[in-house]
Each structure stands twice: as C-alpha cells, then as structure tokens.
Amino acid sequence: MTRLNWGMIGGGEGSQIGPAHRMGAQADGNFVLAAGALDHDAQRGRDYAQRLGVAADRAYGNWQEMLAGEKGRDDRIDLVTVATPNSTHFEITKSFLEAGFNVLCEKPMTMTVEEGEEIVKIAKSSGKICAVNYCYSAYPMVREMRQMVANGEIGKVRVIVANFSHGHHGDAGDADNPRVRWRYDPAMAGVSGQFADCGIHAMHMASFIAGDEVKEVSADFASTIASRELEDDAMVNFRMEGGTVGRLWTSSVAIGRQHGFEIQVFGETGGLRWHAEQPNQVYYTPLGGRTQIMEKGEGGLSDEAGRLSRVAIAHPEGFPMAVANIYVDLAAAIRGQAHGAFPTATDGLRSMAAVHYCVESARSGGAWVDARPALLR
Amino acid sequence: MTRLNWGMIGGGEGSQIGPAHRMGAQADGNFVLAAGALDHDAQRGRDYAQRLGVAADRAYGNWQEMLAGEKGRDDRIDLVTVATPNSTHFEITKSFLEAGFNVLCEKPMTMTVEEGEEIVKIAKSSGKICAVNYCYSAYPMVREMRQMVANGEIGKVRVIVANFSHGHHGDAGDADNPRVRWRYDPAMAGVSGQFADCGIHAMHMASFIAGDEVKEVSADFASTIASRELEDDAMVNFRMEGGTVGRLWTSSVAIGRQHGFEIQVFGETGGLRWHAEQPNQVYYTPLGGRTQIMEKGEGGLSDEAGRLSRVAIAHPEGFPMAVANIYVDLAAAIRGQAHGAFPTATDGLRSMAAVHYCVESARSGGAWVDARPALLR
Amino acid sequence: MTRLNWGMIGGGEGSQIGPAHRMGAQADGNFVLAAGALDHDAQRGRDYAQRLGVAADRAYGNWQEMLAGEKGRDDRIDLVTVATPNSTHFEITKSFLEAGFNVLCEKPMTMTVEEGEEIVKIAKSSGKICAVNYCYSAYPMVREMRQMVANGEIGKVRVIVANFSHGHHGDAGDADNPRVRWRYDPAMAGVSGQFADCGIHAMHMASFIAGDEVKEVSADFASTIASRELEDDAMVNFRMEGGTVGRLWTSSVAIGRQHGFEIQVFGETGGLRWHAEQPNQVYYTPLGGRTQIMEKGEGGLSDEAGRLSRVAIAHPEGFPMAVANIYVDLAAAIRGQAHGAFPTATDGLRSMAAVHYCVESARSGGAWVDARPALLR
Amino acid sequence: MTRLNWGMIGGGEGSQIGPAHRMGAQADGNFVLAAGALDHDAQRGRDYAQRLGVAADRAYGNWQEMLAGEKGRDDRIDLVTVATPNSTHFEITKSFLEAGFNVLCEKPMTMTVEEGEEIVKIAKSSGKICAVNYCYSAYPMVREMRQMVANGEIGKVRVIVANFSHGHHGDAGDADNPRVRWRYDPAMAGVSGQFADCGIHAMHMASFIAGDEVKEVSADFASTIASRELEDDAMVNFRMEGGTVGRLWTSSVAIGRQHGFEIQVFGETGGLRWHAEQPNQVYYTPLGGRTQIMEKGEGGLSDEAGRLSRVAIAHPEGFPMAVANIYVDLAAAIRGQAHGAFPTATDGLRSMAAVHYCVESARSGGAWVDARPALLR
C-alpha cells in the first residue's frame, strides 16, 4: 500500500485550517504532502511548502502554476485540498476537476447556487471525487447516529433540533476588526453571515443523520449589532422530504457559548443527543426508558463507528481526528476500497441552496420557501 | 406575626399540584390551611380537607359554597389558591376577586384573551392581589439574573433563547390515554397544546429576566403525531419592545428530555445560562472573559436572591421551594411588607395573548403578528 | 389526622439549621411548632418563638424550662428537635428521652463514644424514638440506591468511594474567624475537625446504602493550614463487615468544591453514582452495559423512592425536602404507621466510634483499627 | 526542515498502542516511519511495516535485527519507539540507548527499580534522549495547569487528589480472559496490578503539575475478585517533598467509569480540576471567587499551552493529539530546538519506585514508606 500524493492550495503558515488538513491527511500515513500552493504571497508559499517537505519543483507560487505543473506529471497528486478564501473555491475546484484531479474543497463549496450546480455537473461528468469538508459528519459517534436512524432504532424521525452558536463575534467594538468584519459585509461574505458560516454545518448534519433532505425553510435573521448588514443570529425552521420538522438556531453573539454545536434527533421510539464539544458520547433514550450514555469505542457499535475510532473507549478523539476521518474515506475511495459516506458536491450544492432560500424567506418575513436546488428537485 | 389563613380550591388527594401548593404555603409557616374545596367530588373533598386539618365547617363541597361561607367570616381566608382544571380558572378567580379575596391562580389564568383582560380590570378595580403561579420566576438564581440584567451587567439584551421541552407525550400509542389526549384536543385544551402548556412558562421567563415584554411573534407549530389536532412541537420567534430577538422552542415529543427548561440570555457585554433541572447555578460569561459558575448562596448576590434562598451554598433547593417563594412574596404583600416581583394578572393576560397570536401566526405560515393584548398596547 | 405538636431547641433567628428544620417539619403539615427554646439569649428566644406562632406560655427561655413545662402538659410535644451547639446534644437528648419525649438530634449526637453508648441504652429502655439528622439518607434517590443494593441489583458490593469536600475553610487568613476557627480547635470541636463535621455524613451514607457496617479503618489526617490543630483534610480507608472496601476523602480546603458530596458504589454486576449537588439523578451502569441516568420520579422506582418524592419527574427536589423526608418518617413512626429507615441513636453512636477510631489510626501512622463501638460488636 | 527518521518496535497490526504512536509521530509531519520491527511474528511484522510504507530492507523481523541494521546506516533512525510487552522494555531501551539511539519507551519503563536506575544512568552517560510515554502530561491544558502552579497562581499546593479508575476488569467471569488475567498474575505483571497499570499515570501527573516529587507513601491494596492475586483497587496516600498531601485512588472494578482519570489540585489561593475524558477544559477557582471554565485555545494562556494546541477554541483535541505532542517535543529536542517538559527516564524510574514502595506499604498494613529511588534521594 503505497502512500498517495497529496496537494494543498491555501492553508499557509499561520492559517488555522492548514494544520487541521495536514494533520488529517498525514495522521494515518495515507497521504504525503507532495505539492502545494500554500500562500497568496508566492514566495512565502514556496518557502513554507519546502519547509513542510515538499520538493522545490512542486512548491508552487499559485494554484494556476500548480495545476499546470501537476497535470503533466506521472506522479501527479491523487488529491488536492482547496483551503483558500471562500470566493475562490468555485474556480479552483472547477479547474482541478476538469483537469481530472480529485478534490476536497473547504466549505462553502461555492458562493451561489448556480456555481454549485455547475460543480455537481462537472464532478459527475469528470468521474472524479469532489468532496466538501463537512467534517463533523465524520466523527465516529455521528456515523453511529446515522446508522441507528437508518436501522430504525428510533423510528421515523419527527423533530431535529440543531444549534450551532458561539459568542466570538459578540463584541460591538470589533466593527473594525478585519477578522470579524468581513463576515457581515455582503461584498465579501455574500448574502449570508452566520448562517452561511456555521448554520450550514448544522443543516448538513441534520440531513446526514436523518438520511433525508431539507425541502422547505422559513427563516428569521437578525443583525444584533448595528454596524452589521448581514445576520449574526438566525433561526431556521424547516421540513424534510419525509416530513421531519427541523429547528436550527445559529448565532455568533451568544457570549458564553464557545462552539456550541449540538444536535438532537427525536423519533417515534427514541431520542438522540450529541454535542460537538464532547464528541465521544451520544445520549440515547428509548421511548419509555432511561437515557443511556453511549461511548465511542464501546462494544456493539456499528462497523462504521468502529472503523473511524482510533484509540480505546474513553480516550477522547477530537476535531483533528474527524478531519482525518474524511481523509481516511477519501484515501479508500481513491484506492477503490469500501468507505463511508463522505460529503460530496451534492452536499455543497444543497448548502448553497439552503443559504439562498433562507435569505429569501427571512427577507419576506419568514415565508415558507422551497429550499431544494432546481437541479435536485 | 400571626399566620395567615389560606384556602385552596382543587388540588385534592392524588393531584400533583396540590401537594406543591401545600408545601409552598406551609413551609415557612406563613399560611395555615383554613379552608378548602379540594375535589370535584364534594364528599371526597370535604373528607380530605379535614384530614389536612381544616375545620369541618370550612371543608367545603365546591367553590361556590366556599365563596359563600368565607365571605361572611371575620377570620375569612387571606388568600385563595385556584388549582382546578384550566377552563374553570376564569370564573373562580373572577368571583373571588370580586368578593374581595386575594387570589393565586394556577396557569393558564384564562382560556381567552378577553377573559384575561377582564381579570386584569377586576383585579385593578378590586385592589386585591391577583397572582399567577409562574413559579420558575421565583428561583433565587432567576431573580439574580433579572437583577443582573436590570443592573446592566450584561448590557442591552440582544438575544434570548428559551427551550422548554420534554418527551413525556412522545408515545403515539397514548392516543387514548386520557391524561395525554386532552392536551391536544381543542375541545378541552383550547387553541394550543404544548405552547399553552409549557411554552408560556418560557415566554414569561424571557420577559421576567429581560424586564421587557414581547411585541411580535412568528410561530411554527407542528403536530408530529397524526392523531393530534393541536401542536406538540412549536417554535416561536419573537421581538421584544426593546428590540431583543427571541427564540423559543417547546416540545412534548422530545424523547430523552425530562423537563428541559433552559434559558440563555445574551447581551452586549455578557451571557447567562440557566437550566431548571439544576436551578441553583447560573453560567455567566462576561464579554471576553471566562464562563463563571454562579452558585445560589454565594457571597455578593443580590438581596433578592439572598432573601429567597433558605439553606447554605451548594445545598440544592428545588421546585417546592420555588413555589414556596411565591407564597413568601404573597404573604409579605398581604402584610403590606416589601416583597419581590411575583407574577400578576397582567402576566396571565400577556401569556394568553401570546398563545392566541402565536396560533394566528402559525396558521398563516409564520407571518409576524403583534402579540400584545389590546388592553396593554 | 391531627397535626403533631413539635418543639425545637436551638435554631434561633439567624441560624442556618433552624429554618431547614422548620421547613422540614411544616412542609407536609404533619407538625405544628408548639413549643420552643430557640436561643441561648432567653428573651430573644422567647420573642422569636412567639413571632413564629408559638403561644407565650410555651416560648421558653432555655431547654430546662421547656423540659419542665412540657412534661406536665396533656398536649405535650410529640417530638423535640435538638439543634444546639454540638457539645450540648448529649445532655439535652438524654434528658428529653428520659422524660419520655421523642427526639430528633442534630449530628453529631454526642462528643464521645461513651456518651453515644449511653444514649443508645436510654433510647432502648425508654421505648422512645431517638433519631439523628443524617438527612442525606432521606433523598428519594438515595433510598432507591439502598433498595437496589438490597435487591441484589448490583451484586455484592466490592468498593464504595465517598467524597465529601468543600473549600470554604481554605483561607489561611481565616485563622481568627470565629465561625471557622472553632472547628479546628480541640477545646471546642473535640478530637476531629473535618472528618467529624462532614466525613461522618459520608460514612453513614456508605453504611446506609450498602446495608452494612464499617468494621475497620485506616486513616490519614492532615492539617494543611499551620494554625490548625485538627485535620482539615482526611482520607479514611475502611472495610465493612461483609468485606466491602471503602475509600472516603473529606476536605475543607478543596477550593472550588462547594459541597462536593459524592458517593460511588461498585458491585459485582453494576455501579452507582450519586452527587448531593444534583440529588435527583443516579448514574447506574450494569456490568457490560451502558450507563443509564435514573431520574427521581421516573416509572418503576421503589415504593420508598416514590413515597418520598413530592413533585413530578425532572422537577428538582433539594435539601429542604430531604430534611422534610426525615420528618415524614418521624411523623409516621410517632403515629405508628409504616415508615422508612430514618437514622437512629445507633447510627449516631457508630459515627462517634468512627471519629474516635479514625483519630487513633491517623495518630498511629495509618494502622488498621477496629472501628465498631464496643456495645455493638 | 527535513523530516526525521523514525523506527518502531512493537505496535503491530491489531494493537491498540501502535496506531496511537503512528498518528502521533506522523500528524505534524515531523517523522517518517523509516524502520520497524512491529510484530513478534517476524514475517507478519515485515509485511505490515511494508504496507505502512517502510522500505523492505528496514522492515525487520525483530528488534535485534533492527538494532544491527540501523546501527550501520548513515540515515539511521533519529528516534525509536518501544511499544512491546512490558517485560521487554528494559532490555530494548537499554540496548538502543547504548547504541546511541534516542528512545521513546512506553510505560512502565522497567519492571524493577534497579532496572530503572540502570536506564537513568545509561541515558545520562549516552547523552541520548530517553523519554517515557506519560502522554497525559502533554495535553495543552495540563501544561497550562503546571504553568499556573509554577507561576504561583494558586499558591503553595496543599492537596492533590487524583483518581484513575475504570470498570473494564469488573467481570469476575473474566478469570480466564487472557487480555485481563495477566494483569493480576505476578508471573506476568510483576508486583502490582492496577496501580502499576493506571495509578502511575496519575502519580506522574501529580508530580508533573505540582512541580514536586513524591517522598512518602501509605497504600491500601485490595483484590476484590477472588481469583486475583494482585490488586484491582488501590488507595495511595502520599506526601511530596514540599509537604503537599496526596490522595490517589485507582481501580479497575469501578463499573460505570470508563477511563476516569481526574486530577484536582488545591493550593493556598486557588483550586484546579481536570478530567481526561474532557481534556480541553480546566475548572479553576480562585480563593473566594467563582469557578471559571478555562478553555483550550482561549486568549491569555501560556505559550506552552498555545504551542501544543492545533485547532481553534472549542474544537476538541483528544488523546491522539496528546501523543502527538510528545512527538512534537521529541522532534524539537532532537533538532536542538526549544521544547516542553516531556517525561524522561527519571520519571520512569520514579514510577517504578512508587510501585514497589506502595506494594511494600500495602503489605505492611499501610505503614508510611519512603518512596524515592535511592539514586534520586
């Protein structure tokens, strides 16, 4: 089993997402960082790539160079990760797919629904993998919940309640802080602020666990800090194809919540609760019974949860391992082996549609809107 | 300080709410149970009252007898508690107020907004106390949160998130269970199921802590079990007079939640979190600081929190003491002493208005509706 | 069912324990405060008693007056609660028992083992009730654990781990604080500080839940603040008659712990965990299974847990209700009705023996010592 | 910055500890697995090493071959990890150190104190790194606690309470289960069972955080399952050089605890609490103040905690990253760069001494015994 060659665009020195991808790709020894265009400053990017062990001729100054350089090689990269600013995801992902590369794109995959539809089509026609990094779905206990729902262990799902909130943008004095400001400025962030940033993770997870898709949405967006044009607090009610009722709250002004991503799934015969800050437990309550604490690594879990857990029960596994699990599945897919349900371009498209239709609903006072992308109706 | 004479209507043997009121009224020695019409079966009610220590001539067969009997006495009751089925609250409360008695009414105070407005007017003209048992507001740490908000310790309140959910009506097989069925049958429960039952507690608390009132609502109601006409899961977005954004979720099919009443209050300079199942702690996070665990009974709390706490720090106080605190404040008010902000007929009216306007919003697809009773606009 | 007459010695205005007893005795309407000698200042005590509703002729200046006054009455008190300073418990308890009164004594019942043995003998010969207020044992979920062990639901108990620690005496600057200092001064506190104050609660609970008694102890005591003669941190290893291994840690310098009384019981086929700050849940793990969260008020609990729970599931009940449960059982016993296992003089004696033998062990470098009082071997 | 060559002995296919080391070594791209003797079955070990990307000539059949092969190479491994059965640690570690290799040895480093002293001497004379994998000490928030203590933020440490307990050996029916049985058989496990397996982690952490060493111990060991010769439940009281009082409980029959490693540190002016199952938070209480929840990744933490944290606040990091942190520090040390305080042979020796002197104390009824290895007194 030889290692796969891996390339990275963006994620340069000092970025937060870069190390998460490198740990994720390298942790299991599946991938070797073979090529990179890591920084918008070409020279800094080349230097850093080489310090990370990339050969000089594959330490590129920008993604166009990298595309050109890799296309011609026999040992071309098996996978490229796109971790650049959001507005560039579409063009880069498109270009690499069309050139026959497998791609893992950071979220959001695109800025518009139309771009999303285009990526889905290209991915399909190219026959290449186009994955999107909704990595929460790769926690072992999230896969376990999905499996439990699929097995009917909680019956038909009646209600899903998902919250993804933090308070890190709660300081009105941050109006000029460039790391915060852009998220609420339509010129840079597009049509949505907090919902597009965090809410779509929660919505993807609702679909992932339920094994169903969002059909309609009714949204209430609020900008609680006067200087913000886009919402920093949003509530989305939704209905899934199968009738499940959804409640999704997301906020960036929830002072005291750190990264409060919590999801609760209530079915006819049981309920499930999971919290991203303590990702190794699921609270499961059968109808009429007591709440049980399920532990990652315990006996009797699904193959899927077992496969994605690395260390023994009660040895916590965290976010870096969730990212690593995405890479585990991608490596398996590239090698033609069995793998789990990693998020794809279709998921990326659905998220974009959710963003746009929630904005439409919020702008019309909470009216119910069909949230399905036309391509997938 | 002589004890006050207390009467009770409803709350007979085997009821759940009866013992809570008796413990609440008696725990501090303020009230003596002097009169009662405890049961719809007159003889059972008389017997039980006497077993509880009520003299034979004040152990009444029904509330009409009790009203007639007490009216003529020099030692007439100082307070009557109305703990009968919901649809009778209006008539009994009205009658006793008009006869010059102080009343503590169980929630909901009335079945319609019009009745609520009438009670408010009668209470005002009578000069008597009309309280409603929103007893969660009497927990020491809830009073502390209210005081912190009033003091500006978290700045202007931006967002309130309140959840009040349980899963005890999650069994579809309960369609014929009389203790469950009536709640979802308009003939018995009125226009709303779960929101009227639990949601209004949460909405009252939002107003109570914020020191502000709900102005507009947008609601999404769902009946997740086919046999139910009324909602068993509801989401209400609201805006307060001062601009605060509200998110209120309530459900009775949330299997695994026992009595999950949780409220989070996010202001400009801090956040608060409180959970009714662990009522002696508040999680407080100042902007830019760490979350602090506030404990009932700790040094430096407000006079109000201190006054309503009975035992030392970390000795938990629960629901019976919250009810008792309502009675402590009522005793003080009856005696003309200083007391805290117990809920009144105005609160009862606002709740009814919230129920009716949320129903209206839900029926019109989530449209935003003014939720203020006409009398209070 | 007439109310019982109740008297109280100590627990005057401003005391912490007084209100807890008054709420406990009155909450269920079983007892009426009929007599009292509430304060070491006779006049203050008489005044306060009358303000609490005691008739002038039964508002006594001291316990001797009260004993004399009550002895001669036809309506003499049915129960007297002794809530005076520790060193007076023995004499008062003895005197009232000998005069034919039922007694509930605060812990510790006596200051020496010999005194404890004398009380046990007097209680026996008098035929009167002598209870000791180990009120943690009256929480519904503690009774449930006791019942589960008795039913063999976790098999033979192998290990009990009990911690009762707080940090409220952690300030070395409190050397002159009279509310703290006396606890570590042998002239006032006797032979033990923190173990005698909190540790014996934990040891009583271990015996109560296990349904077994402590046979041998090995103790390590430490005075972590230089000015203290008696221990402020203690570890006691013990063995029970049936072989159960015990680990008991108690501390008053554990800054950050509020009142951390936690007990874990590990048997052959299951484990239990309970925490006094969240007393309405028990964490139960069957061998080879998942941890289950048991809730006060859930279906299927023992009659004992059901009987002592007052409000519905997930409505928390706290310390005042635990004290009230002791009074519920005492009222039933006085009336000759069935009741639960309230702690008696025998428990008070065992505690004293534990204190003295732990001190002996600690002084001899942790040697194992027989901890059973001679009277009960 | 070229990658370092890394070799591994033990940790073959199916082992639990192997993947943890490979993820740890590879996650940050510091090490490449260049050589291995992974399995006691030579052929399986060679095959597996090659599947992991090791060149055929460095996929060895056993450690002796590996030692011989690597010694002669210019590109010899920069670090060897020893993850073989406990009884072989001494010989392998000794041999590689003597041959001039840096070594990371799994715990326990040796089976006897004498062997431990020999390793310490050899490590010193060789000038090579000899590290021991007490990886809990590499969690960012554990380093933070150590730094806080060193800074005097909680004053002189009075009491440390450490618990490391699980219930995975609680089934008496496991008497013949080879994965459990050997731990309680002196022929295979040496003089101690649970204390040597888990207790020494807790004792190392107590020393690590306090910045002090254990001086004296008093132990109580119990074998709660009849078939076991060695202890499955142990309590160790200790005193540190600086006078700190220690309480350490460890158990393998604590059914319901998964991997309950918790440590509390109480000083003159504050307390700290950390739990290995939720390793990203520390509960810190200043004297007289409220408990604060410290979060990995929050602003204002020490450089050490910042350096070892990889992803943003509230993105949990778990056990694999703690192991990775040991490798981060080892890589830095090998490269002559600044690094944190990874555990060394001296720590390995102290642990062995603790094991042996605790056994001695337990055998003599809890007598206090000097626990310092002669070499370090």
User: Phi, psi (5° rounding) for residue A87?
Assistant: -70, -15
Q: Mutate which of C153, C290, C294 to disrupt the A interface (most A C-beta within 10 Å)?
A: C290
Do both C198 and C262 map to the same domain? yes
Q: Are B231 and B194 in contact (CB under 8 A)?
A: yes
Cα A173 to Cα A177, A258, A322, B190, D109: the distances in Å are 8, 19, 34, 48, 54
Q: What pLDDT does residue B176 have?
A: 86
Q: Is residue B174 part of a domain?
A: yes
Q: What pLDDT does residue C16 have?
A: 85
Local structure of residue A185 (DSSP, 8 states): -
Residue C265's nearest CA partner among C112, C134, C141 is C141
| The last residue of a domain, from among A88, A103, A132 | A132
Angle at C172 between CA C168 and CA C178, to 5 degrees: 70
Rounded Cα distance between C35 and C297, Å, is 35
The reply to whether omega before B320 is within 30° of 0 (cis) is no
pLDDT of C1 higher than 70 = no
Confirm or reject contact between C295 and chain A (CB < 8 A): yes
Cβ-Cβ contacts under 8 Å, B170 against chain A: 266, 268, 271, 287
Cα A171 to Cα A180, A194, A231, B126, C6: the distances in Å are 10, 15, 15, 49, 58
pLDDT of C351 higher than 80 = yes
DSSP sequence for D326-362: HHHHHHHHHTT-------BHHHHHHHHHHHHHHHHHH
**pTM of structure:** 0.96
Q: Are C285 and C268 in contact (CB under 8 A)?
A: no
Cβ-Cβ contacts under 8 Å, B299 against chain D: 288
Find the mean pLDDT for residues B263-285: 97
Q: What pLDDT does residue D1 have?
A: 62
Per-residue pLDDT tens for B121-154?
A: 999 999 999 999 999 999 999 999 999 999 999 9
Confirm or reject contact between D175 and chain C (CB < 8 A): no
Rounded Cα distance between C134 and D301, Å, is 44
DSSP sequence for A3-56: PEEEEEEE--TT-SHHHHHHHHHHTTSSEEEEEEE--SSHHHHHHHHHHTT--G
Confirm or reject contact between A68 and chain D (CB < 8 A): no
- Residue C146's H or E segment, with its range, is helix C140-150
Q: Give the relative orientation of helices B89-98 and B63-71 as an angle to the nearest 10 degrees.
A: 10
Per-residue pLDDT tens for A21-44?
A: 999 999 988 999 999 999 999 999
CA dihedral A290, A295, A297, A299 (to 10 degrees): -10
Confirm or reject contact between C14 and chain B (CB < 8 A): no
Do both A279 and A142 map to the same domain? yes
Residue B163, both tokens: 């959840």
Do both D200 and D291 map to the same domain? yes
Report ipTM (2 d.p.). Answer: 0.95
Q: Is residue B35 part of a domain?
A: yes
Do both D188 and D305 map to the same domain? yes
Confirm or reject contact between D320 and chain A (CB < 8 A): yes
Q: Are D264 and D258 in contact (CB under 8 A)?
A: no
Compare all CA atoms of chain C with the CA of B260 and give the residue at the minimum distance.
C314
Rounded Cα distance between D21 and D41, Å, is 20
* pLDDT < 70 regions, chain D: 1
Residue B216, both tokens: 């507009």
Per-residue pLDDT tens for B36-91?
A: 999 999 999 999 999 998 999 999 999 999 999 999 999 999 999 999 999 999 99
Do both B43 and B173 map to the same domain? no
Query: How sure is the predictor about C259, in pLDDT bands with cuts at 50, 70 and 90?
Result: confident
pLDDT of B209 higher than 80 = yes
Q: Is residue D319 part of a domain?
A: no
Q: Where on the phi/psi map is residue A280: left (φ > 0), alpha (ψ -120 to 50), or beta? A: alpha
pLDDT of A1 higher than 80 = no
Residue D34, both tokens: 């260049």
Cβ-Cβ contacts under 8 Å, B311 against chain C: 16, 19-20, 318-320
Do both A128 and A166 map to the same domain? no
- Provide the CATH number for the domain around residue B301: 3.30.360.10
Per-residue pLDDT tens for A115-168?
A: 999 999 999 999 999 999 999 999 999 999 999 999 999 999 999 999 999 999
Q: What pLDDT does residue B1 have?
A: 62
Do both B79 and B191 map to the same domain? no
CB distance D29–A52 less than 8 Å?
Answer: yes
Q: What pLDDT does residue A251 have?
A: 98
Angle at A309 between CA A305 and CA A310, to 5 degrees: 160
CA Rg value for chain D: 20
- Provide the CATH number for the domain around residue B114: 3.40.50.720
pLDDT of A2 higher than 80 = no
Q: Is residue B321 part of a domain?
A: no
Q: How many helices (H) and strands (E) does chain A have?
A: 13, 14
CA distance C240 to chain B (A): 29
Q: Is residue A83 part of a domain?
A: yes
Confirm or reject contact between D277 and chain A (CB < 8 A): yes
Query: How sure is the predictor about A362, in pLDDT bands with cuts at 50, 70 and 90?
Result: very high
Compare all CA atoms of chain A with the CA of C288 and give the residue at the minimum distance.
A299
Q: Are A345 and A339 in contact (CB under 8 A)?
A: no
Query: How sure is the predictor about C3, in pLDDT bands with cuts at 50, 70 and 90?
Result: confident
Do both C184 and C148 map to the same domain? yes
Q: Are A200 and A106 in contact (CB under 8 A)?
A: no
CB distance A255–B267 less than 8 Å?
Answer: yes
Do both D238 and D359 map to the same domain? yes
Q: Is residue C349 part of a domain?
A: yes
Q: What pLDDT does residue C377 have?
A: 85
Confirm or reject contact between D173 and chain C (CB < 8 A): no
CB distance B317–C318 less than 8 Å?
Answer: yes
Confirm or reject contact between B53 and chain C (CB < 8 A): yes
Q: What are the strands of the beta sheet with B4-10, ordered from one edge?
A: B31-37, B4-10, B79-83, B103-105, B130-132
Do both B128 and B143 map to the same domain? no
C10: β partners = C83
> In 10 A of CB C337, how many CB atoms?
10
Cβ-Cβ contacts under 8 Å, D258 against chain A: 295, 313-314
- Overall domain count for chain D: 2
Rounded Cα distance between D334 and B5, Å, is 83
pLDDT of B238 higher than 80 = yes
Rounded Cα distance between B157 and A222, Å, is 13
Per-residue pLDDT tens for B328-339?
A: 999 999 999 999
Cβ-Cβ contacts under 8 Å, D299 against chain B: 288
Confirm or reject contact between C292 and chain A (CB < 8 A): yes
Q: Is residue D32 part of a domain?
A: yes
Q: What pLDDT does residue A260 have?
A: 85
Local structure of residue C275 (DSSP, 8 states): E
CA distance C242 to chain B (A): 32
| The last residue of a domain, from among D132, D157, D189 | D132
CA distance B369 to chain C (A): 33
Q: Provide the residue range defining the domain that includes B82.
A: 4-132
Q: Is residue B372 part of a domain?
A: no
Rounded Cα distance between D218 and D215, Å, is 11
Do both D106 and D218 map to the same domain? no
Compare all CA atoms of chain D with the CA of C220 and give the residue at the minimum distance.
D237
Cβ-Cβ contacts under 8 Å, A168 against chain D: 313
| 3 state SS of A272 | strand
Confirm or reject contact between A324 and chain D (CB < 8 A): yes
Cβ-Cβ contacts under 8 Å, B254 against chain A: 159, 161, 264, 266, 271
| The last residue of a domain, from among C107, C132, C157 | C132
CA Rg value for chain B: 20
Give percent of chain B with pLDDT exceeding 90. Answer: 94
Do both A96 and A181 map to the same domain? no
Chains touching A (at least 3 CB pairs under 8 A) are B, C, D
pLDDT of B2 higher than 80 = no
DSSP sequence for B347-370: HHHHHHHHHHHHHHHHHTTT--EE
Per-residue pLDDT tens for C183-208?
A: 999 999 999 999 999 999 999 999 99
D80: β partners = D7, D103
